[in-house]
Structure 1
Amino acid sequence: MTDHADAPHRTGRTLVTTNHDVIRRWAEQRGAHPATMPGSRYKGRMGVLRFDFPGYGGAVLQPVDWDEWLSTFDDRQLRFRYQDGGRTNFFRLERAARDDW
């Protein structure tokens, strides 16, 4: 998988990364905080990974710290698909078991 985080800037690109710094910077630029869904924990492990974006009904989300969020992201071998530039909040977490990375 190629991490396009250091590619020349073109607004609106859809990129894929596993780089913690890129993920955190993307979220923080949008005022988002790591979160999960209440009741989604199983055997003490975090369930659903989300971001709490300001103004988008995050009252139903449970805040978590970055270390736990990123550790869960790594444990599940996920990839972060996102759009750069602009104010888009588009992202998707995908399993890394795909051959088209």
Structure 2
Amino acid sequence: MSTSKQTHDHDEIKNWAAERGGVPAKVKDTGGNSDDEGILRIHFPENSENQDTLKEIQWEDFFQEFDEENLDFLYQETKADGEVSTFHKFVKRQ
């Protein structure tokens, strides 16, 4: 059985992403105004065909918005079959 974890610890999020080849990104053209590039994501370039819809950003910029939006990172370490998981999503911090 796979279980999810939840955190807002920056180092924990960066380590989880790095172990899976993930980088901070935003979804292009999803921002509400010219100052907002779009929705936050962790992008896995080696496993993605959506290269042109995502823009890689710096961790500093990622965490600034992450904290401003009061988000938590919900994620899995492994799938039910034991494989490494890339499942994650952002949720409002309680």
Shorter-chain TM-score bucket reads 0.7 to 0.9
Runs of 4+ in 1 over 6 A off after TM superposition: none
Q: Aligned partners of 1:12, 1:24: CA distance in 2, in Å? A: 21
Report the RMSD for the aligned CA atoms in angstroms: 1.7
Correspondence for 1:39: 29
Tell me the secondary structure at the aligned position of residue 69 of structure 1. helix
TM-score by structure 1 length?
A: 0.76
Measured against aligned partners, the alpha-carbon deviations of 1:71-94 in whole angstroms (never above 9, x if no partner) come to: 100000001011124410000100
Identity %: 26
Paired AA for residue 48 in structure 1? I
Gapped runs of 5+ residues in structure 1?
A: 1-10
The answer on 1:91 being equivalent to 2:83 is no
Report deviation, 1:47.
2.3
Q: Could you state the TM-score of these two structures normalised by the residue count of structure 2?
A: 0.82
From 69, 73, 86, the counterpart of 1:76: 69
